[in-house]
Amino acid sequence: MFMMIMTMMTAITIAMAMMMMCSLISKTSKKDREKMSPFECGFDPKSSARTPFSIQFFLIAVLFLIFDIEIAIILPIILTMKWSMTKTWIITIVLFIMILVIGLYHEWNNGVLEWAK
């Protein structure tokens, strides 16, 4: 019991020391205009580097990642067909694909996939 308490106290002490060191190290110096401006070959920037980007690109990237992960999930399912019962396997696959199609329909219905508005 004593060993467990000592281990916990040591872990808490090390964690607190690391948090204090990180907070001291991460203190930034006074932010001036030169440090906050983007670097373009030593010249002043022609336009603001903080301009917002199109949300459509972000949404398409998220959709791509979702479908990419879904393919990574579907591929091993094909290999497991040998070891599982066929009825259970088919129900699982159909349910999984139905969820994907419903999600795609929802995105399409909300207008996420439309570029011109």
Same domain? 31 vs 68: no
**Structural domain includes residue 11:** yes
**pLDDT score recorded for residue 11:** 94
| pLDDT at residue 9 in the model | 95
Quote the pTM value: 0.46
Structure confidence at residue 66 (pLDDT): 81
Q: Domain count of the chain?
A: 2
Shared-domain flag, residues 25 and 65: no
Residue with token string 């259970």: 88
pLDDT < 50 positions in the chain:
none
50 found inside a domain:
no
- Does residue 61 sit in the same domain as residue 104? yes
pLDDT of 24 reads 82
Residues 23 and 63 grouped into a single domain = no
Handedness of CA 11, 12, 17, 22 (dihedral sign): positive
pLDDT value at position 18? Answer: 93
DSSP string, 43-73: BPPSS-TTPPPPHHHHHHHHHHHHHHHHHHH
Q: Is residue 41 part of a domain?
A: no
Statement to judge: residues 61 and 105 lie in one domain = yes
> Which residue range is the domain that position 86 belongs to?
55-109
Residues 32 and 59 in one domain: no
Same-domain status, 104 and 63: yes
